[in-house]
Amino acid sequence: MERAEAEDPESGGAVPPGARLLLSFKEFLSSRKGRLLLAEAVLSFIIFICYIASSAGSFLIVPLLTLLAALCFFFAYSLKLNERFKAVYWLLADFLCGIIAAIIYFAISIAAVSKYSDTASKAAGVLGFIATVVYCVYVYLTFNDLMTYLKQGDSSEAPEPRKSEDDDSDSDSD
């Protein structure tokens, strides 16, 4: 009986772990970075479906990998794994994945629109251009975060100013 009252969030008890997980997802999804990662994942999934239905099946792996990368970063940031695992440079990895995805989406979108004539390839190409824009915005914001992080790292590791010779002297003379 006491345990049921402690787990009830309305009675002022502790928040259950599942609810904490949902709150962290909701909190991250309300941020700009969370919305952009979700947009990347949704666009990648739709483009993946379009390439499945098209004759441009050779481009199928790009949206699949970008979908997995976007979901991986979404879950890592929402679960705050970037704060727990400091050995991984999350911002740099995120930045590089975004740049690579933007460049490859742009290239395969040009190929899909110009080389293939079926409607699914054209739709995948147009959505690929939209995904390129979303990735470019995401890369821009991640670059700003990365530069802020690097500037903070430089200021905290700045050497102390050197003491003058007068500060080092042991003389008590006036």
Q: Taking the domains of the chain in order of start, what are their residue ranges?
A: 29-155
Whether 54 contacts 128, CB under 8 Å: no
pLDDT over 50 (residue 66): yes
In this model, does residue 125 exceed pLDDT 90? yes
The closest of 139, 141, 132 to 62, measured between CA atoms, is 132
pLDDT digit string, tens, across residues 18-64: 556 556 667 777 788 888 989 999 999 999 999 999 888 888 999 99
Residues 126-137: pLDDT tens digits? 999 999 999 999
Alpha carbon distance 121, 49 (integer Å): 10
- Residue type present at position 107: A
- Cβ neighbours around 143 below 10 Å, total: 14
Q: pTM of the full predicted structure?
A: 0.72
74 or 100, higher pLDDT: 100
pLDDT of res. 65: 94
Q: How far apart are CA 50 and CA 124, in angstroms?
A: 5
